[in-house]
């Protein structure tokens, strides 16, 4: 059977190719998704959200994070309109790659305040140990105190907790008992159940060997044991290992009270859809870039239209795999580039100068894949902005 041919638009742009030539790429006809949730959801879905840099602020962008607070919060308002929750001050917001704890706390305070003004829109915020440099952590007690400090600050702001993986603990923790000591102590003190974040070293190389071992089977045994022992204080666990079978295996081993939130930006569509033994909820960085499509797809799933769910979400997966390709930690550049193309910010400038971490070829392929998935909400604007970026890199329209 021949595959259906997508209709084409009248727009085109000259894009570089891998063989160093330039092709004229003609855009497909765009898809339109609702700007607000259409229907209901039967999955809990968070978008980890990026921050909008202030390109006109005075200072050294490698050393200080200048944030456009109005645009940053406006983006979260958009996510809430779509029925999604916001996972605040996570790695998508460049936590640990440009965003320090002091700025992260201000972001959390502003976001929680904005959520409460909307009648308690869903927002959970990252609490970790990143104000404690890994080289300054001398003992497991240092790690515990650092976690306690950030948890207290988030709870004082009225926020819910995502318990982030700790670089300091990855450095010091050598055994199951040490990880259990940290998590048991910290989880015993939280006001409300938290989301545990297991971030793989493809996202953060400093987290290699988390849970006290580089053997992922043994690491999962440790994580499951700790989480299940503290199930009353755990809302769920987000797994970001880019390994769908490990996520499924872990999901089936969790205490029934504990949700699995997929963090698999390679395989999220099938993991959210699930099977006869269960499904994953979602806490994904890619939902920042595809929020309208994600919202609509999830509403179709809740309505019993699984084919419609896959029709919308399936074409977004190649884009996500491209944005999150190795080195995966640089995926934030693609997320912010999508926000720029779609008009959610007026510039392609990032905290820490991170806009430079992906190549021109990478951005060109991102544009193609976003177009093919119907994710360019205003194709004319996106095309103009793509041409502007290419011009700064030596490719004239």
| DSSP string across 161-172 | EEE---HHHHHH
Tell me the pLDDT of the chain (397 aa) as tens digits.
344 445 667 899 999 999 999 999 999 977 999 999 989 999 999 999 999 999 999 988 888 899 999 999 999 999 999 999 999 999 999 999 999 999 999 999 999 999 999 998 999 999 999 999 999 999 999 999 999 999 999 999 999 999 999 999 999 999 999 999 999 999 999 999 999 999 999 999 999 999 999 999 999 999 999 999 999 999 999 999 999 999 999 999 999 999 999 999 999 999 999 999 999 999 999 999 999 999 999 999 999 999 999 999 999 999 999 999 999 999 999 999 999 999 999 999 999 999 999 999 999 999 999 999 999 999 999 999 999 999 999 998 7
Selection from 46, 91, 56, 36 nearest residue 203 by Cα: 91
Whether the CB-CB separation of 147 and 110 falls below 8 Å is answered with no
Structural tokens at position 132: 């404690």
**What ranges in 157-243 are assigned the alpha helix state H?**
167-172, 176-187, 216-229
Residues 41-324: name the CATH superfamily.
Answer: Aldolase class I (3.20.20.70)
Phi and psi torsions of 5, nearest 5°: -95, 125
Phi and psi torsions of 375, nearest 5°: -105, 5
Half-sphere exposure (CA, 13 Å, Cβ side) for 394? 7
CA dist 322 and 330 (Å) reads: 11
Whether the CB-CB separation of 293 and 375 falls below 8 Å is answered with yes
pLDDT of residue 8: 65
Does the CA dihedral 217-220-224-230 come out positive or negative?
A: positive
User: pTM, whole model, 2 decimals?
Assistant: 0.95
pLDDT of residue 7: 61
Does the CA dihedral 112-114-118-123 come out positive or negative?
A: negative
Give the Cβ contact number of residue 3 at 10 Å: 5
pLDDT of residue 295: 98
Half-sphere exposure (CA, 13 Å, Cβ side) for 284? 32
- From first CA to last CA, the distance across the chain in angstroms is 37
CA dist 244 and 108 (Å) reads: 30
CB under 8 A, 24+ apart: contacts of 251-258: 251/278, 251/280, 252/277, 252/278, 253/220, 253/224, 253/228, 254/224, 254/227, 254/228, 255/227, 255/228, 255/231, 257/231, 257/232, 258/227, 258/228, 258/231, 258/234
pLDDT of residue 4: 44
Half-sphere exposure (CA, 13 Å, Cβ side) for 388? 12
Q: Is 213 helix (H, G, I), strand (E, B) or coil?
A: coil
Whether the CB-CB separation of 241 and 201 falls below 8 Å is answered with no
Domain boundaries, the chain: 41-324
CA dist 10 and 139 (Å) reads: 62
Phi and psi torsions of 115, nearest 5°: -65, -40
Q: Is 199 helix (H, G, I), strand (E, B) or coil?
A: strand
Helix, strand, coil % over all residues of the chain, rounded to 5: 50, 15, 35
């Amino acid at each position: 059977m021949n595959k259906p041919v997508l209709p084409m638009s009248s727009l085109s742009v000259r894009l570089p190719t891998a063989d160093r030539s330039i092709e004229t790429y003609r855009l497909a006809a765009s898809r339109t998704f609702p700007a607000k949730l259409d229907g209901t959801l039967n999955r809990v879905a968070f978008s980890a959200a990026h921050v909008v840099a202030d390109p006109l602020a005075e200072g050294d962008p490698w050393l200080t994070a200048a944030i456009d607070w109005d645009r940053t919060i406006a983006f979260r308002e958009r996510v809430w309109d779509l029925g999604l929750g916001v996972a605040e001050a996570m790695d998508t917001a460049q936590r640990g790659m440009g965003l320090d704890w002091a700025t992260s706390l201000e972001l959390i305070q502003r976001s929680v305040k904005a959520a409460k003004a909307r009648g308690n829109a869903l927002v959970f915020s990252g609490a970790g140990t990143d104000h404690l440099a890994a080289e300054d952590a001398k003992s497991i007690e240092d790690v515990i105190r650092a976690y306690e400090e950030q948890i207290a600050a988030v709870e004082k702001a009225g926020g819910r907790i995502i318990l982030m993986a700790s670089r300091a603990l990855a450095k010091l923790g050598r055994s199951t008992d040490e990880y259990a000591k940290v998590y048991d102590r910290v989880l015993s003190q939280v006001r409300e159940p938290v989301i545990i974040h297991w971030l793989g070293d493809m996202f953060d190389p400093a987290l290699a060997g988390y849970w006290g071992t580089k053997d992922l089977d043994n690491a999962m045994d440790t994580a499951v044991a700790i989480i299940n022992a503290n199930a009353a204080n755990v809302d769920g666990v987000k797994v970001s290992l880019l390994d769908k079978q490990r996520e499924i295996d872990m999901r089936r081993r969790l205490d029934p009270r504990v949700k699995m939130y997929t963090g698999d930006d390679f395989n999220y569509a099938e993991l959210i859809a699930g099977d006869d033994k269960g499904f994953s909820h979602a806490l994904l960085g890619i939902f920042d870039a595809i929020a309208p499509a994600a919202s609509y797809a999830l509403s179709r799933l809740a309505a019993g239209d699984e084919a419609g769910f896959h029709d919308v979400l399936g074409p977004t997966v190649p884009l996500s795999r491209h944005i999150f390709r190795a080195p995966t930690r640089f995926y934030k550049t693609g997320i912010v580039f999508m926000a720029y193309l779609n008009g959610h910010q007026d510039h392609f400038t990032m905290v820490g100068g991170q806009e430079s971490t992906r190549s021109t070829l990478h951005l060109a392929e991102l544009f193609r894949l976003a177009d093919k998935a119907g994710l360019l909400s205003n194709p004319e604007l996106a095309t103009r902005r793509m041409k502007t970026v290419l011009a700064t890199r030596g490719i004239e329209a």
